[in-house]
Structure 1
Amino acid sequence: MNVTSLLDLTGIFVFALSGAVMGVRKRLDVVGMAVLASMTALGGGILRDLILNVRPAAFESLGYVLVPLLATVIVFFWHPQVERSMPAVLVFDAAGLGLFCAVGTEKALTFGLSPLHAVLLGVTTAVGGGILRDVLAGQIPSLLYDRQLYAVPALLGSAVMASLWRLGHAGWQATLAAAVLAFTLRMFAMRYSWRAPLARGVPDD
Structure 2
Amino acid sequence: MIQDLFSPSVQHALDIVGIFVFAISGALLAVRKNFDVFGIAVLAEVTALGGGLIRDVVIGAVPPAAFTDLGYFITPLFAALLVFFLHPEVERTQLAVNVFDAAGLGLFCVTGTTKAYDYGLGLTASAALGLATAVGGGVLRDIIANEVPSLVRWDRDLYAVPAIVGSAMVALCINYDMVNAFTSSLAVVTAFVLRLLALRYHWRAPRAWHRRSTAVEVEDVASS
Tell me which interval the TM-score lies in, with the shorter structure as reference length: over 0.9
Q: Which residue of 1 aligns with 2:102?
A: 94
Q: 1:133-184: CA deviations, max 9, x gaps?
A: 0000001111112531100000010000111111112333232111111001
Structure 2 distance, partners of 1:179, 1:20, is 25
Partner in structure 2 of residue 150 of structure 1: 159
Cα deviation digits, residues 36-58 of structure 1 (max 9, x gap): 00000000000000000112111
Tell me which of 58, 62, 74 is aligned to 2:70.
62
- Shift, 1:4, TM fit: 1.7
Aligned to 2:3: none
- Structure 1 residue 133 corresponds to structure 2 residue 134: no
The one-letter code of the counterpart of 1:172 is A
Corresponding residue number in structure 2 for 1:119: 127
Structure 1 residue 160 corresponds to structure 2 residue 185: no
TM-score by length of 2: 0.88
Residue 31 of structure 2: aligned partner: 24
Aligned-partner residue type, residue 126 of structure 1: A
Helix, strand or coil for the counterpart of 1:2? Answer: helix
TM-score (norm 1): 0.96
**2-side partners of 1:62 and 1:172: how far apart?**
27
Which runs of 4 or more aligned residues in structure 1 lie more than 3 Å from their structure 2 counterparts after TM superposition?
202-205
What percent of counterpart residues are identical? 53
- The CA deviation at 1:2 is 1.6
| Paired residue secondary structure (2:205) | coil
Where structure 2 has 5 or more consecutive residues not aligned to the other structure, the ranges are: 1-7
Aligned pair count? 205
Equivalent-residue separation in structure 2 for 1:165 and 1:15 (angstroms): 27
- Determine the structure 2 residue equivalent to 1:197: 206
Say whether residues 1:109 and 2:109 are aligned partners.
no
In structure 1, the partner of 2:181 is: 172
**CA separation in 2, counterparts of 1:60 and 1:168?**
31
CA RMSD of aligned residues (A): 1.3
Say if 1:47 and 1:124, in contact at 8 Å, map to a contact too.
Answer: yes
The gaps in structure 1 that reach 5 residues or longer are none
Q: What is the one-letter code of the residue matched to 2:168?
A: A
- Choose from 83, 87, 98 the match for 2:91: 83
